[in-house]
Amino acid sequence: MGPNTTSAAIENLSIAVLTVLALPLSIAILQRLYFHPLARIPGPCLAAVTDFYAFYFNYVQEGGYSKRLKKLHAKYNSLVIRIGPNHVHIDSPAFFEEVFRVGSKYTKDPAFYKHFGGLDSMTDPQDYRTYRNHISSLYSARSTDSLAPSVLRELQIISTKLHGKIATNEPVNIQRVFRTLSSDIVLQILFSEDVNLSECVEYHPFLEALDTVMAKTWLSKSIAFYCEGWANNDQQAPRKGNQSGRDSHMKRYLEIDPSDEKKARAVPHPLEDIFNFIAGGSDTTAYSTTCAVHYLLTSPSALSKLQAELDDAAPYIRHNFDHRKIQSLPYLGAVVKEALRLSNPVPGCLPRIVPENGTRVGSVFIPPGTAVSVSLMSIQQNENIFRDPQKFIPERWLGKEGEATQRWNVAFSRGPRQCIGINIAYLELHTCLAYLFSHYEFSLSGRNSTELKWVDRFVSHNTEDVMVNVVRDRWT
């Protein structure tokens, strides 16, 4: 056999091997494009073929997928678009209410939530109810009331630091301020001993690590280092004779009887659960409070109305701090709701699985087993619900208009899987804004643009720090 014959044989063999390897892939592509139950639903061809479409916008384009959904609905002129091989997004408030109602048969998509760990990853409704009921009293309205003195203490520490910036005119990274407060509060719930991040002169290394993790999840071991230490303190407390430690999330976990099969089966890995509560409980609230500051400092009329209301409420902000009265202030409440709506702390897809018998959106039938999403951002910025949805207008939550829009206050989702920390988030948002804007006059640092830029990392994240100058103390 000559050299040419050998070369031809190798070439033919290579073609045959490639054909064999490519054939299953080609069949899969054809099946997903033309013969799949979702084949008639419009959307990008690449999204129909592979989840790489979502991966590209979430990772290569650094969290731009949720922003793209509105453009896709407009491009294909459809309420229902296909955004994955077995995933559709539906731009319909009515369908949102069907999926996220109490008693809904739509369950969380295991393919999506298995990566989260902890309470958020639980897709079995019974296991979820069992574990949530075990810890829910820690996050109740009554327990939240008991956190108010701790929030006030945090605000007083913050105030002392801010006051020192008046003379120096040194810009303050306001999101780091709120991140510290929110983290201290959530850690107080999670562990029986206080961590007191706010007492650190500089930004605490734990928070530096948390910031890094939210951008680069593969570095999560740096968070585990701290969490394991705090968890071990709770675990060793009874051995050291400390039986009177504060009730906490970790303490509840340690008290679960292994012989209680129902609870033992439902409980997630504690460090995964704790990490999710820290990330969700500190990052989303700090982000939304930071956005509220930015919106107010770029909306002089809204800021003036808020500070007038806060000045009238000075007796229970400045003197006898009363968080319940603060949370009942109407314009402050409108500012909080509008900041949550516009900031979209969790903007992207929260997929659920269509139950047996399927469902229908208009003329489009969606078969059982399909992952369906209605992003919270698509609701909170829906032009049929909110006039000028891109503008900061707290007044939309007041009067008759407010009565109509209240049902769409869904920043914390809705139904049985609504955020367990909603009461704590509202406590922090109201009291932080009330205390600081009552106490100080702020201005945006010159380095900040008038428009907030953000990316979706499951929770929203500002791409540049929000820096403020402390202009004067309004209490002196």
Quick check: 278 and 409 in contact, CB under 8 A?
no
- Main-chain phi, psi angles of 35, to 5 degrees: -120, 0
The arrangement of strands across the sheet holding 107-108 comes to 80-84, 87-90, 371-373, 352-353, 107-108
d(CA 385, CA 145): 33
Distance CA 30, CA 44 (A): 14
Separation between Cα atoms, residue 273 and residue 119, nearest integer Å: 6
419 is in an annotated binding site: yes
Count of all residues that appear for the chain in the document: 476
Which region, left, alpha or beta, applies to residue 424 given φ > 0 means left and ψ of -120 to 50 means alpha?
alpha
How many beta carbons lie within 10 A of that of residue 238, not counting itself? Answer: 12
Contact 188, 194 (CB under 8 A): yes
> What count of other Cβ atoms lies within 10 Å of the Cβ of residue 396?
21
Q: Using N-to-C axis directions, what is the helix angle for 330-343 and 300-312, rounded to 10°?
A: 140
CA 277, 106, 53 angle in degrees (round to 5)?
A: 75
> Within 391-449, where are the H helices?
399-405, 422-439
Sheet holding 440-444, edge to edge: 172-173, 467-473, 440-444
Per the annotation, where are the binding residues for heme?
A: 419
Per the annotation, where are the binding residues?
A: 419
